[in-house]
Chain A
Amino acid sequence: DGGITQSPKYLFRKEGQNVTLSCEQNLNHDAMYWYRQDPGQGLRLIYYSQIVNDFQKGDIAEGYSVSREKKESFPLTVTSAQKNPTAFYLCASSMVPGQGLETQYFGPGTRLLVL
């Protein structure tokens, strides 16, 4: 059963704390993405990765970090430098752009709340 999984479903962060959101895919996709969704706004790209051990900043990378040690996994860390982290975080994956199908498939999301 192919797809993208994200965990946890809900995450609570205290002031000054770093938290890590998990994203795993078994679609054999090369590219993976992290988006942030806020009410009334479109999805905003945080980071993306097209290949293992390489990733690029998106539009709103400040206060976030990522790693891509395995093709299947692309965890996102929300650091204490991110002053407004409350949002719905979505992970996505796709075939590498330029190979025909560039549509992205999304995981179920993680809702991050600040205590």
Chain B
Amino acid sequence: QKEVEQDPGPLSVPEGAIVSLNCTYSNSAFQYFMWYRQYSRKGPELLMYTYSSGNKEDGRFTAQVDKSSKYISLFIRDSQPSDSATYLCAMSYRNDMRFGAGTRLTVKP
């Protein structure tokens, strides 16, 4: 079992749809939870981060962390073609940071 599991997709949605991206993890020590967006052949850019459990909202993006279930989610509202990218979840505790394999998302106009 991988330490971080993320459905690789690909996921294709029409413009304006609500997108739900998810990761599960096995290490209960993780404290910081992050979502990165990676465009093709580019480095990942930090989209959102949360500390411990709870929700965080930033514009069209909402990150949720449920530590009891070891489950994190990223919701994208009113998705746009410019949201088409690979989304990586990541989580860390001290020096140990682990990444999901990434979910490839395409938003069709």
Interface centre among B6, B43, B88, B90 (most CB of A within 10 A): B43
Interface size on B, residues (CB 8 A): 25
In the complex, are the beta carbons of B99 and A108 less than 8 A apart? no
- A98 in the interface (beta carbon within 8 A): yes
Whether A90 lies near B88 (C-beta < 8 A) is no
Contacts of B2 in A (CB 8 A): 42
Known: A40-B8, A102-B32. A109 touches B42 (CB 8 A): yes
Residues of B near A108 (CB, < 8 A) are 42-43
A42 and B98 in contact (CB under 8 A), knowing A97-B92, A103-B32? Answer: yes
B44 proximity list for chain A (CB < 8 A): 43, 90, 106
Decide if B45 touches A106 in the complex (CB within 8 Å).
Answer: yes
CA distance in complex: A111, B41 (Å):
8
CB within 8 Å for A97 and B94 given contacts A105-B46, A106-B44, A109-B42: yes
Count of chain A to chain B residue pairs whose CB atoms are closer than 8 Å in the complex: 52
Q: Is A41 an interface residue (CB 8 A)?
A: yes
Is A34 an interface residue when CB atoms closer than 8 A count as contact? no
Interface residues of B in 40-97 (CB under 8 A from A): 41-46, 49, 88, 90, 92, 94-95, 97
Query: Are B97 and A102 in contact, CB atoms less than 8 angstroms apart?
Result: yes
Cβ-defined partner of B34 (8 Å) among A41, A90, A97, A103: A103
Residues of A within 8 A of B49 (CB): 103
